[in-house]
């Protein structure tokens, strides 16, 4: 109501009468009874908005609202879905004004079911950190991944690091890929900060980093990731130390490292330097400046990027492509996908262009495929 009064610029003298129009249920019954009792008793009626607001709070809002909300929050348990639990938890917090963020987190975790608590606590330890380590005295750029089970080294680094590879029957299963056998295993002397010890490695193909240090390394070195300190702490009693992470943007000379969207967003918040590129359409009468090294690449492969496609089929090869069918096959019947208005209007134009160029021809085959879209 106060927001409405401010937006509509309602004067204080009219706020009480307007509020009475919007009251419902017990509030409306209380207001009408209160006005009638004041008139019969000869007492002054409620004429200002501040007085009416105070009377409404005293009548309908308990004085111990915060205490009741804290008691309810203490008894709140995660029984249904997580969404319902979060909704009820957030509703109770609206009546508690002075609870610290640490207490909110403690109460939220305490009410969750054990499996949900375990999942959240496990996520707290998952993360990536990029550091420089030394193998046999040679510097290697490593990614510390608390989600990896073992330690891995790129196959391209075997010769540079003088690794003695021995055969292994271990197989590796990465995300979104099939189970594959590793290319070998090795044991090498690893130095991270002041900590130094032997380390077991699996030789696998890696794209961006030379080395991945996983749970095996973290357990041996008693290491702990500290993203808020931008580094990693090694708590081994023999040589405890802390060393800083390196920027993920420190790419190799002849390569570009790929980043996840979350990593890019986190880097932007930390103020890391970033570049955004986009594909643009270059029209024939439009000139665009490009760097010298890019101009050389475009010139070298100009034959692969003609301004327009050829109007004729490529020369006939010695072997023509064909699809081998079983004898007397039964064509499958399936409705094609519906096309949007823009694609449907563009389809006849493309068909006419391809027919005129002789690249396609009408077909009476019982099979069809949406090859254009």
Taking residues 11-17, report their average pLDDT: 77
pLDDT attached to residue 321: 77
What pLDDT is recorded for position 279? 66
Instruction: Enumerate residues 6+ apart whose C-beta is below 8 A from 197.
Output: 189, 190, 220, 221
Summary mean pLDDT of the chain? 76
Distance separating alpha carbons of residues 190 and 147, to the nearest angstrom:
20
317 or 5, which is more confident: 317
What is the rounded distance in angstroms from the CA atom of residue 246 to the CA atom of residue 217?
A: 18
Predicted confidence (pLDDT) per residue in 171-199, tens digit: 776 655 677 778 888 888 888 778 888 88
Is the pLDDT at 314 greater than 60? The verdict is yes
The answer to whether 130 and 142 have CB atoms below 8 angstroms apart is yes
Long-range contacts at 314-319 (CB < 8 A, ≥ 24 apart): none
CA dist list (Å): 280 to 112, 277, 291, 299, 304: 50, 10, 16, 19, 19
Confidence of residue 255 (pLDDT cuts 50, 70, 90): very low
Question: How crowded is the C-beta side of 134, counted as CA atoms within 13 Å?
Answer: 11
Select the more confidently predicted residue: 309 or 202: 202
pLDDT exceeds 50 at position 322: yes
Q: What is the pLDDT of residue 125?
A: 44
Per-residue confidence (pLDDT) for residue 131, from 0 to 100: 82
User: Of the ranges 4-8, 230-234, 279-283, which one carries the lowest mean pLDDT score?
Assistant: 279-283
Residue 45 is encoded by which pair of tokens? 């009626």
pLDDT of residue 251: 39
Is pLDDT of 48 > 70?
Answer: yes
Mean pLDDT, residues 114-140 taken together: 69
Residue 253 has pLDDT above 50, yes or no: no
Check if the beta carbon of residue 164 is closer than 8 Å to that of residue 144: no
pLDDT higher than threshold 50 for residue 55? yes
Tens digit of pLDDT for each residue in 83-109? 788 888 888 887 787 788 778 878 888
User: What tens digit of pLDDT does each residue of 259-270 get?
Assistant: 666 667 777 777
Q: Say if CB 131 and CB 192 are below 8 A apart.
A: yes
The pLDDT, as a whole number, for residue 61 is 66
Lowest mean pLDDT among 45-49, 233-237, 282-286, 337-341: 282-286
**Overall pTM > 0.85:** no
DSSP 291-332: -HHHHHHHHHTGGGS-SS--SSPPPPPSS-------SSPPPP
pLDDT of residue 254: 43
The answer to whether domain 128-251 has CATH 2.40.70.10 is yes
Of the pLDDT bands very low, low, confident and very high (cuts 50, 70, 90), residue 350 is: confident
pLDDT, position 62: 62
Structural domain spans, the chain: 2-60, 65-124, 128-251
% the chain with pLDDT above 90: 0
Task: Check if the beta carbon of residue 123 is closer than 8 Å to that of residue 102.
Answer: no
């Amino acid at each position: 109501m106060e927001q409405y009064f401010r937006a509509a610029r309602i004067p204080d003298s009219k706020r009480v009468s307007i509020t009475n129009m919007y009251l419902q249920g017990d509030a409306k019954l209380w207001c009408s009874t209160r006005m009638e009792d004041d008139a019969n008793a000869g007492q002054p009626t409620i004429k200002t908005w501040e007085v009416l607001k105070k009377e409404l709070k005293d009548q309908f809002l308990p004085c111990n609202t915060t205490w009741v909300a804290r008691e309810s929050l203490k008894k709140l348990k995660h029984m249904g879905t997580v969404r319902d639990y979060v909704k009820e938890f957030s509703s109770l917090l609206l009546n508690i004004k002075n609870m610290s963020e640490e207490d909110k987190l403690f109460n939220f975790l305490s009410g969750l079911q054990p499996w949900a608590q375990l999942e959240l606590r496990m996520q707290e330890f998952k993360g990536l950190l990029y550091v420089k380590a030394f193998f046999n005295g040679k510097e290697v750029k490593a990614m510390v991944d608390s989600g990896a089970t073992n330690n891995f080294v790129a196959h391209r680094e075997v010769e540079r690091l003088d690794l003695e590879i021995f055969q292994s029957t271990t197989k590796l299963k990465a995300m979104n890929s099939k189970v594959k056998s590793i290319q070998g295993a090795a044991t090498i002397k690893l130095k991270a900060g002041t900590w130094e010890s032997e380390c077991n490695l699996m030789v696998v193909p890696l794209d961006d980093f030379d080395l991945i240090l996983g749970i095996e390394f973290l357990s041996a070195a008693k290491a702990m990731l500290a993203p808020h300190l931008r580094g990693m702490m090694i708590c081994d009693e023999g040589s405890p130390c802390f060393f800083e992470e390196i920027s993920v943007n420190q790419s190799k000379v002849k390569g570009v490292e790929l980043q996840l969207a979350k990593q890019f967003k986190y880097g932007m918040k930390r103020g890391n330097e970033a570049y955004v590129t986009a594909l643009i359409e270059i029209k024939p009468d439009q000139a665009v400046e490009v760097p010298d090294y890019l101009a050389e690449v475009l010139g070298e492969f100009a034959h692969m990027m003609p301004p327009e496609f050829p109007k004729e089929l490529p020369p006939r090869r010695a072997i023509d492509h064909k699809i081998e069918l079983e004898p007397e096959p039964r064509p499958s019947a399936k409705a094609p996908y519906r096309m949007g208005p823009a694609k449907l209007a563009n389809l006849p134009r493309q068909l006419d262009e391809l027919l005129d160029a002789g690249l396609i021809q009408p077909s009476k085959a019982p099979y069809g495929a949406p090859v254009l879209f």
